[in-house]
Structure 1
Amino acid sequence: MQVFADILLATGAFGAGFYCFILSRRLKRFSDLEKGVGGAVAVLSAQVEDLTKTVDAARAAAGATGAKLQELTRKSESVAHRLELLIASFQDVAPAEDTPKPPHVPSPSPNGKQAPAPGLMFQRNAQGVDEAAQ
């Protein structure tokens, strides 16, 4: 019985040793820097670092752009206020009555028809046909 227990113990130790050998090989492949998870972790770490730099640069650019936009908004509000004041001041000014406009009096044409009003392109004659104004 003692020999049988020793054989079982040796077989179990040999099996555990073989299992540890297989696990060590898998662990080496797993942590390999070029092909395994170690390589993937290294690549991801480098990508995270690049992304952090890009985000910081974008944040700085957005802050500068925001400051410029605020300044332009202030300037546009100032100009809009000045324009409102100018429009209000023009509405207060009465038109000058020094130069009265003569009323438009149509002059008769030599053939007895009335001359077309300025700015009209067509005029109806007695028959209802449109003629080009001359």
Structure 2
Amino acid sequence: MEMIADVLLVAGALGAGVYCYVLAKRLSRFNDLETGVGGAVAVLSAQVDDLTRTLQAAQTAANGSSKSLEELTGRAENVSRKLELLVASMHDISDQEAAPPDLSEEEPPTPVFARHPRDNGRAQ
């Protein structure tokens, strides 16, 4: 009976060894950096780095655009205040147009005559 137990024990050890060898080969193919999951992880890691850089650049551009938009909004508010004041001042002007001055009461302008010196035949 001991002999059968020893044979079974050796057979179990050999089976476990073969099983470990097969698992080691599968694990090495699984972690291969070119074709396995290791390669996929490496590619995804590179893509995450690229996306991180792109996101930082986009955030910088958005911050610059936000500041520019705030400045333009401030300028637009100032201009709108000025326009409101101008419109309010236009309400103070009467709706009637100013009548042209009555020229019949004034004296007509007198013509002015001026003499120019003669050039005495000399060309200038």
Give the TM-score of the pair, scaled to structure 1. Answer: 0.71
Tell me, which stretches of 5 or more residues in structure 1 are unaligned?
101-134
Map of 1:12 onto structure 2: 12
Q: Which amino acid aligns with 2:25?
A: R
Q: What are the equivalent positions in structure 2 for 1:1-134 lying under 5 Å apart?
A: 1-94=1-94, 95-99=96-100
Gaps spanning 5+ residues in structure 2: where?
102-124
Task: List 4+ stretches of structure 1 deviating above 6 A.
Answer: none
Q: 3-state DSSP class of the match of 1:97?
A: coil
Partners of 2:99 and 2:27 in 1: CA distance: 103
SS at match of 1:48: helix
* Alpha-carbon separation, structure 2, partners of 1:81 and 1:64: 26
Equivalent residue letter for 2:49 = E
Distance in 1, matches of 2:67 and 2:33, equals 45
TM-score of the aligned structures, taking structure 2 as reference length: 0.77
Measured after TM superposition, the shift of residue 96 of structure 1 is: 4.6
Residue by residue over 1:51-86, the C-alpha shift from the partner in whole angstroms, topping out at 9 and shown as x without a partner, is: 000110001100000000000000001001101101
Q: Is the partner of 1:33 in helix, strand or coil?
A: coil
- The structure with the greater share of residues assigned to helix is 2
Identity within the alignment, %? 55
Q: Which has the higher contact order (CA 8 A, sep 6+)?
A: 1
**SS state of the match for residue 75, structure 1?**
helix
